[in-house]
Structure 1
């Protein structure tokens, strides 16, 4: 044969030449990896990744598959391996050692070292003839796979003392490889050229003009805190001229961190020639809110909003064609969730990891960074450190309740590049609330509802969905004002939550009565401004974040935050949500201690909390680091969980029935489900813990729809959404 093929015919009737695919993938992978000094390494992996397709059996299988619209299989119907030849070349010919795992895993996911050993042993014994046949046939068309200079590893690898830095390099070159492979394959089938995103270097002036326009509109009704917000912005922009690194950004709630963080990122990227801004926030509610702001400031066409959707990797092998390909974040500005960011970073799947090479040479803004789970801090902070040390990344840690990360050993020796020179005076100037403690004796929800019913505008935040439902019922019964008693939790559809928030903001703006009972989803970053906030007892950072929803814009002489310890609250659920953090907080923050906005007390609290939990010396984080050092990617992916109890999306009967049902029918009636279907489903999705959803299916109240997407069959409550608890209420989390 004078030509070998990588892929079957496209719509124009042309097959994809294997030599073209290997060389084009190599160029793309090298381009992606150049920013972190690994062009040669990634390019070579791209050059050899599909060498196994050169074998006679695979080529014959491709032609048969093309004729039958089936898969590439041998005469017995078994899949034909095409990864061993490239893996062998990378490991033995190029002497790249465990970096050859990227080739072995470019379809199935990153393996472990035992998988690599078994593959190489097979390539040199049982499958030697097939492997060498494929290599020989490809070498005629692409001689550089085995002749010519072999790639060098980045210079720092040989001197790196921390194995986790090298493990991260393998993740990054794997990401560059699989993204390049996917894009070149897609280009063959669609004919669409790779888009060229706008450059951040040209966006600073446009950002500043958009900000000025945004503020000009806001100045029509000036706020008392506007001057302080301007100072915070100016300090953030000034800090952007510092060298790349990790930037703690402590500023009180309501200080304008969202816009200031965007300004820092835009100016810092322009100063250092960085490629993109990646903004990660902890909750869907503020992901959507912040994305709207950043589209205004950076330009709608420059902002990609990407958060978790339906996970189709649980589908059986016969339905793999229905997988939803992950976005690869090829945009100047990406707004996502911290779950999406870090679950992708520590995944092993090629679809999830396509995007992570984009972290190199970028600005990562971690908003509400106090929300990172303690159990995962060690691998997360390790990765952030190495991204800044070896991959040209800068990280902004934004929070009103700045965690004491630089007191941990994992950050030992790192220089904290300050954004706010003197934060405590800023907190004092922006103090807008008085804390009132109702912890001894403990009030009941009925008592709290009776008291709160006397306020015309009031927000009540509790720790579990079960508590929210109970308190909502009590307050609705006690409410005497001419206005709604609303509810917010993840048991409600996304569109339902947005409509509630719009109603709340409208009534607050017009000074009309309104009450809201919510779980924690409103306390971090959501732009609400109540005169009075009730908050069930929680760790210090949660209390201060909740206080940020009271007198947020400084219109009152003083807002009130009533912290109560409910006598009939869900003790087990609260413990599952907060763990030891709550007990540690009681020792430093409260009626006998300091207020949550005392930064010295807050730092002492974090130090004690990390010590009690031993976040660096034991637990899941330490186990993950040990497995990372061993390059055991499957175990790392299994153990790394941003959320203790994994949750699943649930399609509910809310909103536009015609659109929702049409989308649902596409899921069940089509052989291929396009990505836009899942994006359009978002407004109709609520959330349940996985185990609870499975229990609902067993009771006939829900059904499995597709992958990990469920559908709720029972009635949807007009205020509270899905109403369903575990058989044992103490097992309920949030």
Structure 2
């Protein structure tokens, strides 16, 4: 092909237009600069965006693109080498990882260094594309290096080197998100409209107005004033400096609304960009997102403010570029997500997982139910959070009704000084805990699931919480057998084997029956324990960790409307299941020494603090390992070595992995079923799409253990959609969802 003709980045779109390479590089560079300005690296990110596809300027690649366009298939030629060499020439060589990994993922530093050395020695062929593109874009031959943060020059200690890891990730995120967006615009045939997000001050004011309207429209509760006191103190603290804060509010104290109020007031006070609320369970994202939507989303057809994102589907496995384009990039002012989704982004290495990471800069990050973070990963998690606060303009709120003693972890002691504070006045948490004590505990050692179900069935309104989805299935079957005369809706089941939409419908039905005094006997896994606003007079909780027992108790006499305390029965079933997590088993040993009959109740804050101190002293750092023997300290060492693949492999938030399946329930209306089929078809075909396609499937996705998913794939009950997302073609129970296989 003639060297004088235009150079192309992408093949023709639906309008018959190819994407000019110089337009793509400039478009990517411009967007990358916008993303990275929030952490002072706009110039460096723009340079890396300009350099990322320089290798496409070679004749071989250009011919390959035209051939692929005519014959189908892919170009099949590497195009990252030239840009990698160019990046290493004008920036510290470590940041060339951004260009080298912009399709396949961030490489290990040792591998990258060897590759750069090889490219420089044996890369005469790289001169052609580099010279061509530099002629088109002179900014790729700067006379001075692109500006990087001042703190980088003193990054010598292990702590500082971990922050270099974080900076590389943030630059990578800025560039790959910019690349995805610019590419998507080309294949759409037009730029995606850039919606101007409301200012944080506007959202703060809307939140305040609607909060007052919400409170005025609710039935008064004896503890309303306590909730107001908590909210007022949190909001008053919002003018404080950016940092790491603890919000310790007992169950029922209005933690969700107080955390949102603090975050919006703090963001408005400091000119911050967004609020990100991360919670450990999908059920909490669903409820919290609903609360925040009511308080923040515009009336009518305006642009939504609140984005709910909890899909953990891996889209790098199949269909290549277009599937990855569907991943969320958190371009919303208020995001509700899961801690798995948040920290997977922080410690992953692939473009689809990391494209949203740059949104954490200048954000208020609320970690709700922080006690649920895995012990073995606390060292790298807290290190990364500290880095976000110190170098990327973030504020972190550690929120919980059972606030863990993180200062007991040696690796976190630097956090416990200047940057960690409480949002509530000293002593207020203990006072609140006493005033919000609304239940009494009974203990049932050496019982069975059937005996517990039989006792629960004798009361008009009860909730029984179990430790596994199989136990939930068993108890629900037992209850229905005990109550053959039960009316529809009297016996309810909740677990992650149900789709998100199915769970929401069930929770709404339970809430309605409770409000009207109608009989309801519910069984649930722990998903109901945090963030789900239900109020039972009597509750049964299988023996578990004290923080979970206390969270469960928050669903009993929640609003303090009973004449006396509600009753929480802690039962210890001999036939009950337990999570397989090693940390859980070790923590249970500690818990049984401090809590139980003739010992402390779960709402004893002093006993809870002693439990956390013992647990963290014995189960963090070198003592806490996963199934492969990896510790948090190991991961932190890998971070300082910039070994991105090893970090991604080692950082697994969930030991017992589950698989995601999309269920088209027969209970759905026909148009809704067809919309799901259409979305599945688009994903299977790898057609151009935006994040709304995956988002539309979230409410229709259930989880099952990987072992069950593998069996379902083999017997054609689970059919591949894309990546590791499957369509469920097996039976789906109208009450229990996807049932576990018979024993």
Please state if 1:16 is matched with 2:19: yes
Q: Please give the alpha-carbon distance, in whole angstroms, between the structure 1 residues aligned to 2:180 and 2:112.
A: 23
Q: Distance in 2 between matches of 1:389 and 1:233?
A: 27
- Cα distance in 2 for partners of 1:708, 1:714 equals 17
Matched, 1:405 2:406: yes
Task: Tell me if structure 2 keeps the 8 A contact 1:48–1:145.
Answer: yes
Q: Indicate the residue corresponding to 2:477 in structure 1.
A: 473
- Listed one character per residue, the Cα deviations across residues 572-631 of structure 1 (whole Å, up to 9, x for unaligned) are x46668221111111122223222122221111011111222345552322221221221
Deviations 1:71-109 (A, max 9, x none): 22xxxxxx2222111111111x21412111111001111
Tell me, in whole angstroms, the C-alpha distance in 1 between the residues paired with 2:507 and 2:37: 44
Matched with 2:265 is 267
Q: Is the 8 A contact 1:246 1:396 kept in 2?
A: yes
**How far apart are the structure 2 equivalents of 1:453 and 1:521?**
21
* Contact in 1 for aligned 2:326/2:692 (Cα 8 Å): no
- Show the 5 A alignment for 1:556-635: 556=562, 557-570=564-577, 573=579, 578-615=584-621, 619=625, 620=630, 621-635=632-646
Cα pair 2:375 2:624 within 8 Å, conserved: no
- Distance, in Å, in 1 between the alignment partners of 2:359 and 2:686 is 28
Q: Distance in 2 between matches of 1:319 and 1:244?
A: 39
- Shift, 1:359, TM fit: 0.2
**Alpha-carbon contact 1:464-1:574 (below 8 Å) kept:** no
| Structure 2 CA distance for aligned equivalents of residues 569 and 588 of structure 1 | 21
Q: 1:550 to 1:411 in 2, by over 3 A?
A: same
Q: 1:714/1:37 Cα in 2 relative to 1: closer, same or farther (>3 Å)? A: closer
Q: 2:208 maps to what in 1?
A: 208
Q: Give the 3-state SS of the residue equivalent to 1:553 in structure 2.
A: coil
In the other structure, the counterpart of 1:76 is none
Q: Does the aligned pair in 1 maintain the 2:440–2:568 contact within 8 Å?
A: yes
Q: CA deviation at 1:561?
A: 0.7
Structure 1's 331 and 320: CA in aligned 2 closer, same or farther, altered over 3 A? Answer: closer
Q: What count of residue pairs does the alignment treat as equivalent? A: 712
**Alignment-derived partner of residue 373 in structure 1:** 374
1:338 matched to which residue of 2? 339
Q: Which moved more, 1:280-289 or 1:405-414?
A: 405-414
Shift of 1:506: 0.6
Does the Cα contact within 8 Å between 1:385 and 1:411 map onto a contact in 2?
no
CA contact (8 A) 2:25 2:51 kept: yes
Alpha-carbon contact 1:481-1:513 (below 8 Å) kept: no
- Confirm or deny: 8 A CA contact 2:180 2:325 kept in the other structure: no
Contact map agreement 2:406 2:412 (CA 8 A) in 1: yes
Q: CA deviation at 1:492?
A: 1.7
Change beyond 3 A, Cα 1:501–1:649: same
In structure 2, relative to structure 1, the CA distance for the partners of 1:701 and 1:43 (3 Å cut) is closer
Q: Which runs of 5+ in 1 are unaligned?
A: 73-78, 728-734
Alignment of 1:65-464 (within 5 A): 65-72=68-75, 79-91=76-88, 93-126=89-122, 128-160=123-155, 161=157, 162=159, 163-190=161-188, 191-192=190-191, 193-218=193-218, 221-300=219-298, 301-308=304-311, 310-315=313-318, 321-323=322-324, 325-414=326-415, 415=417, 416-421=420-425, 422=427, 423-439=429-445, 442-464=446-468
Question: Structure 2: how far apart are the matches of 1:4 and 1:602?
Answer: 65
Contact kept, 8 Å, 2:91 with 2:146, in 1: the verdict is no
Moved more, 591-600 or 342-351: 591-600
Q: Aligned equivalents of 2:306 and 2:471: distance in 1?
A: 37
Q: CA deviation at 1:388?
A: 0.7
| Structure 2 unpaired stretches of 5+ | 299-303
Deviations 1:668-703 (CA, angstroms, capped at 9, x unpaired): 586235454433333333211112211333456544
Alignment deviations for residues 6-59 of structure 1 (CA, whole Å, 9 cap, x no partner): 233445554433233323322322222122122222122112112112212122
CA deviation digits over 1:421-464, x for unaligned, max 9? 1211111111111111112xx11222212222221100000111
Q: Per the alignment, do residues 60 and 698 of structure 1 end up closer, same or farther by CA in structure 2, a change over 3 Å counting?
A: closer
Per-residue CA deviations over 1:339-362 (Å, capped at 9, x if unaligned) read 111111111111111110010111
Q: State how far apart, in whole Å, the 2-side matches of 1:24 and 1:707 are.
A: 28
**3-state SS of 1:395 partner:** strand
> Quick check: 1:249–1:420 contact (8 Å CA) kept in 2?
yes
Query: Please, which moves more after superposition, 474-483 or 109-118?
Result: 474-483
- Say which SS state the counterpart of residue 59 (structure 1) adopts: helix
The worse-fitting range, judged by mean Cα deviation, of 400-409 and 655-664 is 655-664
Give the conservation status (yes or no) of the 8 Å contact 2:311–2:698: no
TM-score normalized with structure 2 length: 0.91
Assess if the C-alpha contact under 8 Å between 2:580 and 2:656 holds in 1: no
1:680 aligns with 2:693: no
Q: Distance in 2 between matches of 1:21 and 1:713?
A: 42
3-state DSSP class of the match of 2:602?
Answer: coil
User: Cα gap change, 1:646/1:320 in structure 2, threshold over 3 Å: closer, same or farther?
Assistant: farther
> Which of 479, 497, 500 matches 2:506?
500
> TM-score, structure 1 length as denominator?
0.92
- Counterpart position of 1:732: none
Q: Residue 565 of structure 1 aligns to a residue in which SS?
A: strand
SS in 1 for 2:336: strand
